[in-house]
Amino acid sequence: MQAACEAVFEALAAHDAIPHPESLKVRAIPCDAYRIGTAPSSFCHAVLALLPGRSETAKRELAQLILTVLRRQLPNVGSLSVDVADLSPSYAKDVL
């Protein structure tokens, strides 16, 4: 899964819609308990949270980019999905 995280990070960092790749964070969180209706019974769901302002076209491109990278990295995973969401205007962070 680390290789998939690295590949997603590199692909997003190279995309024009990501002007500050140093702010990217990619993480994988395992689900110990789940049930899906497809076979094989495995999945990977990605959530891309963006600061507001990108066009719907850019969001679709980023979602498709992530999906393409995940399929290449996880060829035997039964179900792959990507959701792109805008962060709330009240989002805040602090970096050392």
Mind listing the pLDDT tens digit for each residue in 35-49? 999 888 999 999 999
Q: Specify the pLDDT at position 68.
A: 98
For residue 24, being part of any structural domain is answered with: yes
pLDDT tens per residue, range 64-95 = 999 999 999 999 999 999 999 999 989 998 88
Q: Specify the pLDDT at position 28.
A: 95
> What's the structural domain count of the chain?
1
For residue 50, being part of any structural domain is answered with: yes
pLDDT band (50, 70, 90) for residue 61: very high
Name the pTM for this structure.
0.90
Give the residue numbers spanning the domain of 50: 2-86
For residue 93, being part of any structural domain is answered with: no
For residue 17, being part of any structural domain is answered with: yes
Distance between CA atoms of residues 65 and 44, nearest Å = 15
For residue 23, being part of any structural domain is answered with: yes
For residue 94, being part of any structural domain is answered with: no
Query: Which CATH number goes with the domain that contains 42?
Result: 3.30.429.10
Ramachandran angles phi, psi of 47, nearest 5°: -120, 125
For residue 92, being part of any structural domain is answered with: no
Residue with tokens 């290789």: 3
- DSSP H/E element including 9: helix 2-13
